[in-house]
């Protein structure tokens, strides 16, 4: 703890962003680099708690008080070593994580928490600028081969760890580019893809092999992987979308969020997509159904494409501005949040249930909805329509962002014959192995749609399970056991 009175003297400073009018004209990141000297002062707010609850909040077990202090003392090289010890990709989490560590920070009991996320991303960018981040090829190869299926953050973390342990790793990805939701889900304005490509380049130099357009269970038989590899890691995510089965759902102009975001991300990558194959919000009245992060990513994209109006519907009531009595620290605070996309415009409508879509010429033109009350009865949550609250809204484009129901089953999972949990995710044992010997799993495929930080933590943990399976023991760190 460099400055013992730091938390008393220094206030949390908001992360600077580009002005809304400027950022809506491009796809570049919303956040500006945090000014170095001010960031060091923010690091001084850390109290180096005897029991650092930020550790408990972070699935990776990041050594947060250590690097807060090192940044304050201007010891950036030590800080990046400490940060990389627990996190393969701090440039992803530092930009994209909702920061459960900040929700658990002890300072948050009666003050604003330490700005942990900004410190994290500043450490890694500082390190890249100075050339301190290099490929980490293993000194010795074990002769064992591992196939990782899926190239999202879980698959990438598992691949990097297994490569470090000396195994030969090939990552198979059905898409035409590597990255999973980091590539085609998360928009450029939240994380520019050059940061993903920079990390992938390092992994390739360290020896990880990437194979795209390889859809395991479709154009690449699972049996081939079983034959050619000593172990498998299933990291295929959980992208089966939740649908809204109401009258009019079949009309044109109603799309799943991921179909919409993928096309937009492809255009940002420079792909030539013909207009008739693209989903654009330009000049349209848009309704996004789903008030979560995927909906917010649609919102930011819709604004940049030039929609004339945007409403974002949410079934749940508006969260409170401060923690509710049944949501005490250090739990994740379920409070009203304003993301960068919300700052840019659009109207958020809470406690609303869409009843049907109406159209003409096969395209959606209007929707009908009703306000609802959330009621807890017999241990269950019900949404009861409020009498007389029905309303209609003219709409040209509807984006369904109501979450995901789990991993896609046909192909990979059915061919392999893995056991599923009652939630439809892939079952695993304590060593991260599925019911099929030698086949391991991690990330959203076993957890259900979650967060990047969990995917990385699980990828690291599953890698240790694989390494121990192949070698009889493992030195790899595993945050989740
Ligand atoms: C729009 C959106 C925005 C999000 N924003 C955030 C955010 O800001 N912060 C955050 O922390 N989390 C966010 N999340 C959640 C986060 O992206 C996921 O939890 C995380 O990416 C899960 O990582 P994963 O590696 O398990 O799966 P994924 O990232 O989903 O990657 C799985 C990969 O496996 C591939 N695959 C699947 N089956 C096969 C197969 N049979 N053969 C070959 N390849 C296959 C898929 O094509 C995909 O590329 C967001 C999610 C969405 C949908
Ligand atoms: S809980 Fe907050 S104040 Fe305490 S060590 Fe962690 S970051 Fe620092």
Name the closest ligand to CA 119. 2
Q: Euclidean distance between the first and final Cα of the chain, in Å?
A: 29
Distance, CA 185 to ligand 1 centroid (Å)? 7
Distance, CA 10 to ligand 2 centroid (Å)? 14
Q: Is the pLDDT of residue 1 over 80?
A: no
* Residue of 110, 220, 108, 229 lying closest to 172 (CA atoms): 220
Cβ of 233 below 6 Å from ligand 1: no
pTM above 0.95, yes or no: yes
Cβ of 296 below 6 Å from ligand 1: no
* Cα torsion angle, 392, 398, 403, 407, sign: positive
Task: Provide the 10 A C-beta neighbour count for residue 317.
Answer: 12
> Which atom of ligand 2 is least distant from the CA of 47?
3
Q: What is the pLDDT of residue 97?
A: 96
Give the integer Cα–Cα distance in Å for 420 and 407: 10
Task: Provide the 10 A C-beta neighbour count for residue 419.
Answer: 11
Cβ of 426 below 6 Å from ligand 1: no
Confidence of residue 383 (pLDDT cuts 50, 70, 90): very high
Cβ of 458 below 6 Å from ligand 1: no
pLDDT over 90, % of the chain: 97
Name the closest ligand to CA 218. 1
What is the token pair recorded at 276? 């008739």
Please name the residues in contact with 55: beta carbons below 8 A apart, sequence gap of 6 or more.
61, 62, 63, 64, 101
> 145: helix, coil or strand?
strand
Name the closest ligand to CA 44. 2
Confidence of residue 481 (pLDDT cuts 50, 70, 90): confident
Q: What is the pLDDT of residue 430?
A: 97
Task: Provide the 10 A C-beta neighbour count for residue 74.
Answer: 12
- By the 8 A CB rule, do 244 and 355 touch? no
């Amino acid at each position: 703890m460099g400055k013992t009175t730091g938390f008393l003297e220094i206030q949390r400073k908001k992360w600077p962003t580009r002005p809304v009018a400027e950022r809506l004209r491009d796809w570049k990141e919303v956040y500006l680099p945090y000014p170095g000297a001010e960031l060091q002062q923010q690091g001084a707010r850390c109290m180096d708690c005897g029991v650092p609850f930020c550790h408990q909040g972070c699935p990776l077990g990041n050594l947060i008080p250590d690097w807060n202090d090192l940044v304050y003392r201007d010891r950036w090289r030590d800080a990046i070593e400490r940060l990389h010890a627990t996190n393969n990709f701090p440039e992803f989490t530092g930009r994209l994580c909702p920061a459960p560590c900040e929700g658990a920070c002890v300072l948050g009991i009666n003050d604003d928490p330490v700005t942990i996320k900004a410190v994290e991303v500043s450490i890694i960018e500082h390190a890249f600028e100075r050339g301190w981040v290099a490929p980490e090829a293993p000194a010795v190869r074990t002769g064992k081969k591992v196939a990782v299926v899926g190239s999202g953050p879980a698959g990438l973390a598992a691949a990097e760890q297994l490569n470090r342990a000396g195994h030969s790793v090939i990552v198979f990805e059905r898409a035409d580019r590597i990255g999973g939701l980091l590539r085609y889900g998360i928009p450029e304005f939240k994380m520019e893809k050059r940061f993903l490509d920079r990390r992938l380049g390092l992994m390739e130099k360290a020896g990880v092999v990437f194979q795209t357009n390889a859809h395991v269970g479709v154009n690449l038989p699972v049996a081939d992987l079983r034959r050619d590899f000593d172990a498998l890691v299933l990291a295929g995510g959980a992208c089966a979308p939740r649908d809204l089965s109401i009258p009019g759902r079949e009309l044109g102009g109603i799309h799943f969020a991921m179909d919409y975001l993928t096309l937009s991300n492809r255009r940002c990558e420079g792909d030539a997509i013909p207009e008739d194959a693209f989903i654009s919000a330009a000049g349209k009245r848009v309704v996004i159904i789903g008030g979560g992060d995927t909906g917010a990513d649609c919102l930011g994209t819709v604004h940049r494409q030039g929609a004339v109006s945007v409403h974002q519907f949410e079934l749940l009531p508006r969260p409170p501005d401060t923690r509710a009595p049944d949501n005490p620290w250090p739990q994740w605070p379920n409070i009203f949040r304003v993301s960068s996309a919300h700052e840019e415009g659009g109207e958020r409508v809470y406690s609303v249930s869409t009843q049907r879509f109406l159209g003409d010429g096969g395209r959606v033109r209007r929707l009908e909805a009703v306000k609802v009350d959330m009621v807890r009865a017999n241990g269950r949550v019900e949404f009861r329509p409020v009498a007389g609250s029905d309303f209609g809204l003219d709409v040209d484009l509807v984006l369904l962002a109501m979450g995901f129901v789990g991993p896609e089953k046909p192909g990979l999972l059915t061919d392999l014959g893995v056991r599923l949990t009652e939630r439809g995710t892939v079952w695993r044992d304590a060593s991260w192995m599925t019911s099929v010997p030698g086949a391991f799993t991690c990330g959203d495929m076993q957890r259900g749609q979650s967060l990047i930080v969990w995917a990385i933590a699980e990828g690291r943990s599953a890698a240790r399970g694989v390494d121990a399976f192949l070698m009889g023991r493992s030195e790899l760190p595993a945050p989740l056991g």
